[in-house]
Structures are given as C-alpha cells and as structure tokens.
A and B are shown apart, each in its own frame.
Chain A
Amino acid sequence: MERMEGPDDAELSRARAGDAEAFRRLVERHARGVFRLAFRMLGNEQDAEDVVQETFLKAWSRLHQFEARSSFGAWLRRIAANCAYDTLRRRKRTPLAAGPWTDDEGGEIDPLQELPSPTPSADRELWGAQLRARLGAALHALSPLERAAFTLRHLEERPIAEIARALGCDDNNAKQSVFRAVRKLRRALSPAFPVTP
C-alpha cells in the first residue's frame, strides 16, 4: 500500500462526515494495495476480491474509530489482514504431499541440476512451473496464522508488532509463526533451495 499520509487527510475528514465521494477517492487510491495483500494471503483471486469489498465496507462503517496515529493505509491494511485471516481460518487446509521433481516425461529430476542454467529453456520453464506449484501447495498447507504472519512480514514487510496487532496475537507468537512458515516452505522446496546448517 502506498505511503500516503498527507494526501489522505482531506478525504478522511470529509468521509467521516458522511461524504461518500471523498471515500470513493480513498477507495480508488488504496484498492490495488489491499488487493495485493489479500491475494498474497489467500492465493485466490475470488477470495481476494471478497476481502477487498469487505475491507472497504468495514473501513467505511468504522471511520470514526480511525486514529491518526497510523496512516490510513496502515489502518486499512490491518482491517484487510484481519478479513483475510478470517477467510483463511474458515478454509479447509490441504495437507502437503510433495513427490519428487519430474521432467515432462514424468522422470525424476534433480532440481539443483536444472537451476544453474542461465538461459531460458523448456526445462527451466518446467522447473519454474514446478517450483510455483510446490510453493502454492506449501503455502496452502500452512496454518492460517503462519500464512498470515508470513505474508505480512516477508511480502508486505510489516514489523512484527503491527502483525501481532492485526492478527490478535502476541509478538512472540507472530514471530514464531513466521519462523515455522519459512521452515515449512524451505522443506517443501528443498532440494531446489537447500537448507544450510
């Protein structure tokens, strides 16, 4: 989400007084950032679009609770993270079942051998596709808290304290969840990304 603390202020005070037009400008300014966060947490466009709608709906009805201590963008992000976290918790998780890496004929390959080739090739594309598929499956298998905390820390680069507030847990819990998420992702992706001591 763009850091736009100053430019939001005028719209904010008008929107709080019930000016929907001012709120429209805020929505237009922040919608893409909210979508990106929601998609990263959920990995699914439809769910992410639902979260975008829910986030702005809640923001509108809670505008009077917004305190200027944080930026409007950070406040929205907190609402969005919370909505997406709720969606994650309602979802059924798929247990992770990672088989060997294969080439296009189904033969087993060593992903490390495929990786170093700097030139784009069919093999390399296949490798990339498998990497994405594995990553998607691994993300899907994380617990809701692990996935939410991981997304907010590593993809949205939010500080741990803010993540803990958004997800309603304490700092240590948020941090440990990120650690666990990273460990699980690395395990799912090894040996393409070998784990070092």
Chain B
Amino acid sequence: MNHPNDDALLVAMWDEPGADAERAHLAGCATCRERVAALRAVLDAAGEDVPERGPDYGAQVWARLAPQLPARPVPVPAPPRRLVSFHRFASFGALAASLLAAFLIGRHTAPLPPPVPVVETQVRERVLLVAVGDHLERSRVLLVEWMNEAEGGAPHGAEELLRTNRLYRASAERGGDADVADVLLELERTLLEIARAPEFGPAERAELQARIERRGTLFKVRVLGEQVRQRQARPAVEAPVQES
C-alpha cells in the first residue's frame, strides 16, 4: 500500500478541499491514523501555554486604547481651516486627498480630476509632497530627540505635528492608501503618547520609550520619508512640463 507523505496527511487533517484520496486512505489505514495522531501531538503541544486573560481583559485593553483613538474619519470632510500650512491647499482640498495617496505610493498615473490643468496639478502635487516630506522629517527629528532623553516635558512642536499628521492621515485614508495611512496612524499614536508624557514619571517614560522602540515607529517613519524624498527627486515624466 502506498502511504501518503506527511504533507499530504496534513492536508487531509485540514478541513480543506483537495484531499479526498488521502482521507479515504486514512479511513482504511491504521498506520497512517497513528501517524496523524503523532502529528497532532506535535501540533497540540505548540498550541499550549497561552497566558490566561481574565474576563475584564477587554476593559483593560479599552482603558489603554481609548486615549489613543483618533477621531473617526468622516466620509467627506471639509478641509480644516486652522492650519496655516494647509491654507495653501484649501482651494484644492479634495484634490489633495487623492494626490497624497497617489503620490506616496508612486501611482502617478492615477486619474486626476479633469478640470485642473496638468502643469498646475503637478505644481500642487510637488507642494504637497514637500509639505508631507517636511512633516515626516520634523516628526522623525522630534522622535529621535525625545527617545534619547530620560526626562523632560512634552517636546516643543508635538501638538502641532499631531494636528498636521491628522490631516495627512485622513487624506491617505480617503485616498484608500492603507500602507501610508498605517504609518501615519502609528506616528499619530506615538505623537499623542509623547504629547501626554508630562504626566508620566521616569519609569512610565522609560516604558513608553521601550514600547515605541519595539513598535519600530522611527524606522517606519524614516522609510516613508525616504519614499517621499524619492518621489520628490523623480522628474514628472507623464506629461511634458512647460516652464512658464
């Protein structure tokens, strides 16, 4: 009798299509049923030892989570008026949203709203790119400094970066770019934690620094910043740009 190999036995153990022959074989082969039992023993052993979490665990998770929750993105938000840096884009607020996403991931060919002339669009895109790149760089510098200090209050500028970040994140989310939105969400969460840091004692602060380190926030911000810089450096190739 030809016994199925271990891989085939695994597929037979799974409740997936494509292993009917193996399942039929198992029904008539005691040897292979023993092999399955041995496999199962290994697999079961690997699943043991998950630390117990009590019935109030969900409430504990919520207590930590709630202060970090950004406001829910509203489907079609009006561009906020408070921010000076965003005033420049106010006339094309809706456009900016899709541009940011299209840009950061290099989807330069994404369809753009037709009424805007190509050259004008590209200029705006570049302005926006520069603004985002600048934001990421300022955030990165602030994070590096804060991560290397054992004490002190909230770093200067954290609140403003937080507000700017919310705008960019909302843009990326509306543009459907989950990867960029994720990094900005991560950054926003971290900026929020840092902005609240004056309430922290040295031990809490060290703990927060360790947590940010583990999450790799700085690394992610640096990588995204690098991508934005590369986009900035790349010449616009899709349409001939006429300098006026």
Which of B42, B61, B65, B68 is in CB contact (< 8 Å) with A193? B42
A-B contact count (CB 8 A): 131
Interface string of A160-197 (1 = CB under 8 A from B): 10000000000000010011001101100100011111
| Residue of chain B at shortest CB distance from A181 | B46
Which stretch of A3-11, A42-50, A100-108, A118-126 is in the interface?
A: A42-50
Q: Is A52 in the interface zone, CB < 8 Å from B?
A: yes
Q: How far does the Cβ of B143 sit from chain A's closest Cβ, in whole Å? A: 17
Q: How far does the Cβ of B31 sit from chain A's closest Cβ, in whole Å? A: 8
Residues of B within 8 A of A87 (CB): 214
In contact, B70 and A32 (Cβ under 8 angstroms): no
Q: Is B206 in the interface zone, CB < 8 Å from A?
A: no
In contact, A131 and B61 (Cβ under 8 angstroms): no
Tally of chain A residues near chain B (CB < 8 A): 59
Residues of A within 8 A of B201 (CB): none
Give Cα distance in the complex from A197 to B57, angstroms. Answer: 45
Q: Is B196 in the interface zone, CB < 8 Å from A?
A: no
In contact, A63 and B72 (Cβ under 8 angstroms): yes
Residues of A within 8 A of B47 (CB): 40, 154-155
Interface string of B36-75 (1 = CB under 8 A from A): 0011011101111111010001110110111011111111
Residues of B within 8 A of A183 (CB): 6
Which stretch of B96-104, B119-127, B181-189 is in the interface?
A: B181-189
Give Cα distance in the complex from A139 to B43, angstroms. Answer: 11
In contact, A139 and B46 (Cβ under 8 angstroms): yes
In contact, B10 and A57 (Cβ under 8 angstroms): no
Residues of A within 8 A of B219 (CB): 90
Give Cα distance in the complex from A155 to B14, angstroms. Answer: 12
In contact, A155 and B46 (Cβ under 8 angstroms): yes
In contact, B62 and A135 (Cβ under 8 angstroms): no
| Residue of chain A at shortest CB distance from B46 | A135
Interface string of A21-51 (1 = CB under 8 A from B): 0011001111110011001100001110010
In contact, A64 and B10 (Cβ under 8 angstroms): no
| Residue of chain A at shortest CB distance from B186 | A54
In contact, B50 and A27 (Cβ under 8 angstroms): no
Residues of A within 8 A of B74 (CB): 18
In contact, B10 and A28 (Cβ under 8 angstroms): no
Q: Is B215 in the interface zone, CB < 8 Å from A?
A: yes
Q: How far does the Cβ of B73 sit from chain A's closest Cβ, in whole Å? A: 7
Residues of B within 8 A of A40 (CB): 47, 50
Q: How far does the Cβ of B223 sit from chain A's closest Cβ, in whole Å? A: 12
Residues of A within 8 A of B198 (CB): none
Q: How far does the Cβ of A189 sit from chain B's closest Cβ, in whole Å? A: 6
Which of B48, B51, B70, B216 is in CB contact (< 8 Å) with A61? B70
Give Cα distance in the complex from A24 to B66, angstroms. Answer: 8
Which of A16, A32, A175 is in CB contact (< 8 Å) with B57? A32
Residues of A within 8 A of B42 (CB): 182, 185-186, 189, 193
In contact, B51 and A57 (Cβ under 8 angstroms): no
In contact, B50 and A56 (Cβ under 8 angstroms): no
Interface string of B203-220 (1 = CB under 8 A from A): 000000001001110010
Q: How far does the Cβ of A16 sit from chain B's closest Cβ, in whole Å? A: 8
A31-B62, A64-B75 are known; give 16 further A-B pairs, CB within 8 A.
A16-B72, A24-B62, A27-B62, A28-B59, A31-B61, A32-B53, A32-B57, A39-B50, A53-B68, A57-B68, A60-B70, A131-B45, A179-B7, A185-B42, A193-B38, A194-B38
- A sample of 15 cross-chain residue pairs with beta-carbon separation below 8 angstroms, ordered by A number, consists of A15-B72, A16-B72, A28-B62, A31-B57, A58-B182, A61-B73, A61-B185, A62-B173, A65-B178, A86-B216, A132-B45, A178-B10, A179-B10, A193-B38, A195-B6
Sort A-B residue pairs by CB-CB distance and give the 5 closest, nearest first. A28-B58, A18-B72, A31-B58, A31-B61, A155-B47
